[in-house]
Copies of this chain bind each other. A is one copy, B any other.
Amino acid sequence: MKVVIGADKDGAQAKDDLIKVLNSEGYEILDLSKEGQDFVDVAVAVAKETLKETDNGKDKSEEAARGIVIDKWGTDAFMAANKLKYVICANVSDEHSARMTRRHNGALMITLGTAVVGPELLISCAQAYLEAPFDAGRHMVRIDMVNKMA
């Protein structure tokens, strides 16, 4: 599975640590982080690349690409990413949400904020998100509704 990752300067250390773990678990990492990006830049870069990789989010298979943004607060990148059509993005700070947002929302990407999420919790949230399947079924009606919103 390809994991599209981006971090601003506040998320850089946590992002590097996460990449190490994910590499060791066999994920293919695409790190879009660039000097001078703010949280909006990172959120948009990760969202657009993950949309491209997944046919605008329609591919929710187990192998489908997923996006992860790490910045200071998470909720700001969340706010920006969800403005884009076809993006369902979750700001995550617990393992259960990380898992359920893939299962029920088919979340294209998650955001993690280092100001509130400690480094071990951050890694276990990212793992829970990446390992979760998408349940489809009745959940598709809600996703179709969200996707109609521009």
Min C-beta distance of A102 to chain B, whole Å: 21
Give chain B residues whose Cβ lies under 8 Å from the Cβ of A120. 72, 115-116
Interface centre among A115, A118, A119, A121 (most CB of B within 10 A): A118
Q: Which of the residues B72, B113, B115, B121 comes within 8 Å of A116, measured between beta carbons?
A: B121
Chain multiplicity (copies) = 2
A50 within 8 Å of B by Cβ?
no
A105 contacts partner chain B, Cβ-Cβ < 8 Å: no
* A72, A113, A115, A116 interface centre (most CB from chain B within 10 Å): A116
**In the complex, what distance in Å separates the CA atom of A116 from the CA atom of B117?**
6
A101 at the interface (CB under 8 A from B): no
A83 to chain B, nearest CB (A): 25
